[in-house]
């Protein structure tokens, strides 16, 4: 591939990313996934309520999980550090909604981001975990992550450096691991 071809590819990527930023309703990137789990929804939800026991096992990128109190309740504060790609993000999540057997929403107003260990920034992180019934002994485990940037330049840089793909892969890895863990615990309990 020639230098001229590389320049054309880079220009096309830049224009595509610019279009995504300009056309976006907010300065945000959203990713998500839903994975099947072979266990009843009640079991999956109750297992997830003990996430502090196994959060670090769900992804090699999970570095820290500390929460106040003894269990997940509305207004619980959760201190999470995680890596994805070349980013380290430190969240201070607050449980803003908890609907048993359905969903839990978390909000980190000011997540601290470090890129390549050199560049620092902040973003707002919104996360939703979903539990959807799919029959008597099956459910779907869902995760949506919305990263909101403080301005269009930060949004553009995130798009240029594949932030959406990086966090999509992380979400899929985490939820697939959660499904395997929940299924394993269900099989052991049977």
Q: 134-190 pLDDT, tens per residue? A: 988 999 999 999 999 999 999 999 999 899 999 999 999 999 999 999 999 999 987
Query: What pTM was computed for the model?
Result: 0.91
Q: Return the structure tokens found at 8.
A: 């054309």
Count the Cβ atoms, other than its own, within 10 Å of residue 26.
11
What's residue 132's pLDDT? 97
What's residue 50's pLDDT? 95
The tens digit of pLDDT for each residue in 117-140 reads: 888 999 999 999 999 999 889 999
**Rounded to whole angstroms, how far apart are CA atoms 83 and 86?**
7
Strands (E), 42-102: 62-67, 77-84, 87-99
What's residue 128's pLDDT? 98
Minimal CA–CA distance to 120: which of 132, 112, 109?
Answer: 112
The tens digit of pLDDT for each residue in 4-55 reads: 788 888 888 889 888 989 898 889 999 999 999 999 999 999 999 999 999 9
Domains with residue ranges and CATH for the chain: 27-189 (3.30.530.20)
What's residue 113's pLDDT? 94
Tell me the helix, strand and coil percentages in the chain, rounded to 5. 35, 40, 25
Count the Cβ atoms, other than its own, within 10 Å of residue 100.
11
What's residue 4's pLDDT? 76
């Amino acid at each position: 591939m020639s230098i001229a071809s590389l320049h054309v590819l880079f220009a096309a990527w830049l224009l595509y990313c610019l279009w995504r930023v300009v056309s976006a309703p907010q300065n945000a990137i959203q990713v998500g996934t839903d994975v099947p789990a072979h266990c009843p929804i009640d079991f999956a939800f109750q297992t997830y309520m003990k996430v502090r026991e196994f959060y670090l096992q769900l992804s090699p990128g999970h570095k820290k999980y500390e929460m106040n109190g003894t269990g997940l309740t509305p207004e619980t504060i959760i201190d999470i550090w995680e890596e994805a790609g070349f980013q380290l993000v430190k969240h201070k999540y607050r449980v803003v909604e908890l609907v048993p057997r359905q969903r839990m929403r978390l909000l980190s107003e000011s997540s601290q981001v470090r890129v390549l260990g050199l560049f620092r920034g902040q973003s707002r992180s919104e996360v939703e975990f979903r539990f959807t019934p799919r029959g008597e002994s099956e459910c779907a485990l869902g995760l949506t992550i919305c990263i909101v940037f403080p301005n269009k330049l930060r949004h553009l840089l995130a798009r240029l450096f594949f932030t959406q793909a990086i966090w999509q892969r992380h979400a899929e890895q985490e939820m697939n691991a959660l499904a395997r863990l929940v299924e394993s615990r269900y099989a052991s309990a049977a």
